Amino acid sequence: MVTKVLENLGKNGLNFFCYLGSLGILSLKTIASFFNSRFRGREILKQMDEFGNKSFPMVALVSVFIGMILAMQSASALRMVGAQLYVGSLVSLSAVREMSAIFVALVVASRVGAAITAEIGMMQVTEQIDALRSLAVNPVNYLVAPRLLAAVITLPFLTLFSIFISILGGWFVAVYGMKLGSNLYLYHAFKFIYLKDFLISFLKAFIFGFIIVIVSCRQGFETTGGAEGVGKVTTFSVVFSFLLIILANLIITAFFYFL
């Protein structure tokens, strides 16, 4: 029994690292394609619209709720020690350092990442990818590179937008729910956050965008089994993107704030 468990653990661990290796290979191919392929500005703008403009409503809704929840939870804890005036500080620090980048990435992974996997997956099962290769068109250059560039440009801006919407959501709770002065809330909201915090948040957004596109495209290229296979790889793509995003967030946070 123990031997079987250890065997399965080792097998799954090996598969995980092999999968990470395949993501690394696709990443290198995509980065190389930026230097040896034609710049497709129109396609990049189209993908930026998909990642950014069409994600704004969902990001705004999620962000304002995050800010309101953070303010409520902070107020409940700070009230015990008579420090309610620091609600703005906790909301802004949480949003800038962690919440905004994470939730923006999860929204984009579930909305855009799933769509990328499904689109490329259908192209794979209908042999459109093979048709591209037969026309001497590199699928990585044609399909992955524009999406990757769009993601790493757009997600930092979405994260900045999310930060301010979260602070606004917290402001609403603080001013109208706790009767805290608006100026006092805003003063403390921006008192303890620094340029370093914003830059680290943008770095996280950049890396999360990279992860979403590489995982989504890799799963699309590996699709087999028709429509059922497309559904399976799309689900796996979203789940694994979530896992890698959380893992990357842990590593970045530990590196910049604890080491």
- Record the pTM: 0.93
pLDDT tens digits, 235-249:
999 999 999 999 999
pLDDT of residue 178: 87
Give me the domain span that covers residue 208: 2-257
Residue 107 C-alpha from the chain's centroid = 7
Is 259's pLDDT higher than 80? no
Number of domains in the chain: 1
What average pLDDT does this structure show over 67-84?
87
CA dihedral 12, 229, 106, 60 (to 10 degrees): -170
pLDDT single digits (tens) 81-111: 878 889 999 999 999 999 999 999 999 999 9
For the cut 90, the answer to whether the pLDDT of residue 156 exceeds it is yes
Residue-level pLDDT at 13: 80
Residue 145 has a pLDDT of 93
Q: What percent of the chain has pLDDT over 70?
A: 99
pLDDT digits (tens, 9 = 90+) for 4-32: 777 778 877 888 888 889 999 999 999 99
Average pLDDT of span 132-153: 92
